[in-house]
Amino acid sequence: MSFSFDTKNELCRLPVQKLCCARAEAYGILLYCNTFSSTEVRIITENPNFAARLPKLFRRAFNLQFDRQPEPEAPGKLVFQITERKKLDHIINLLGYDPRQNLVLHINFGLLEEECCRASFLRGVFFAGGSITDPLKRYHLELTTSHLQANRELEVLLRECGYPPKSLSRSGSFITYFKQSDQIEDFLTLIGAPVAAMKIMSAKLEKDLRNSVNRRLNCDNANLDKTVEAAREQLEGIRKLQAAGLLEQLPDKLQLTAALRLENPELTLAELAEEFDPPVTKSCLNHRMRKLMELARGL
């Protein structure tokens, strides 16, 4: 199951109750479904839960039945269709359009004055034209329609709700989309999918934690590489002094430092400082090492 499929299943569990909200949800579905014209309504889905919701929703919203609908438990694509002119005129009239004129689809904001109706309308839009990417991969929610004016007005509606989206056109379709995780979370919560919103929050926390661990590991690896390189240079310098017969001429403290480094090539400077008896500070040992390296470079 995809994340979109699971999210729509969560939305399908919401009851169909208030008439105004049922009509607003059906309105969103019609504007973003496969076909909505003065001659036909055609809604195609592969989600059986959404298919079970549609007849109840349209009965509540418009007091009518589909002319064609799939058999229960039918596999594959499920097609819902209305072609009877009387039913189509009834829907068009209830949504505030004139059945006698060419149907130019735009959003009738008069049907969306209440906050609950706006949320229901956006839920319908998501049902019919929405998709959302698995948040463990990336954050992306889009709403796709073939109606330019509806797309433009949806963007206005979303901005009024506090979720400024982005828009693009692709292969004759008009797309409104979000790429910010917090905007997607808020949108899903508004339309009635808080569980899906929480999954996005959890995925974001998991990604942040993983990135933090990776950064720390990369930092630790970089520090380890520096430690290994520094130890290698120290060993080379000490061996140069040893080969030149100068090591025995150095003060006892420097001789002891060189001997301990040769015996413990894998230790960090802090760990090597603990090997002295009594232990010395890292700063003190660093000073001695610099002195040895200066002498070696002088050769």
| pLDDT, tens digit, 9 for 90 and up, residues 164-209 | 899 998 888 899 999 988 999 999 999 999 999 999 988 888 877 7
pLDDT class of 220 with cuts at 50, 70, 90: low
Contact 129, 145 (CB under 8 A): yes
Task: Check pLDDT > 70 for residue 135.
Answer: yes
Its pTM stands at 0.70
How does pLDDT run across 116-127, given as a tens digit for each residue? 999 999 999 999
Question: What does the pLDDT read at residue 105?
Answer: 80
- Tokens encoding 110: 């008069």
Contact 88, 41 (CB under 8 A): yes
Question: What does the pLDDT read at residue 71?
Answer: 81
pLDDT class of 102 with cuts at 50, 70, 90: low
Contact 240, 233 (CB under 8 A): no
Q: What's the CA gap between 202 and 97, in Å, rounded?
A: 43
∠ CA 238-239-242, nearest 5°, is: 90
Q: What's the CA gap between 27 and 29, in Å, rounded?
A: 5
Pick the more confident residue, 102 or 130: 130
Contact 133, 127 (CB under 8 A): no
pLDDT class of 99 with cuts at 50, 70, 90: low
- Helix intervals (H) in 161-281: 181-191, 194-243, 252-263, 269-273
- Tokens encoding 106: 């735009």
Task: Check pLDDT > 70 for residue 132.
Answer: yes
Query: Nearest Cα to 142, choosing from 111, 104, 108, 169?
Result: 169
Task: Check pLDDT > 90 for residue 38.
Answer: no
Averaged pLDDT for residues 62-71: 92
- Which letter does DSSP use for residue 70 in this model? P
How does pLDDT run across 271-298, given as a tens digit for each residue? 888 888 888 888 888 888 888 888 888 7
Task: Check pLDDT > 80 for residue 81.
Answer: yes
Pick the more confident residue, 295 or 45: 45
Question: What does the pLDDT read at residue 187?
Answer: 94
Q: What's the CA gap between 7 and 139, in Å, rounded?
A: 14
How does pLDDT run across 228-282, given as a tens digit for each residue? 787 788 888 888 888 888 878 888 888 888 888 888 887 888 888 888 888 888 8
Task: Check pLDDT > 80 for residue 217.
Answer: no
Q: Which DSSP string do the residues of 59-109 spell out, in sequence order?
A: HHHHS---SB-PPTT--S-EEEEE--HHHHHHHHHHTT--TTS-------G
Q: Which amino acid is at 180?
A: Q
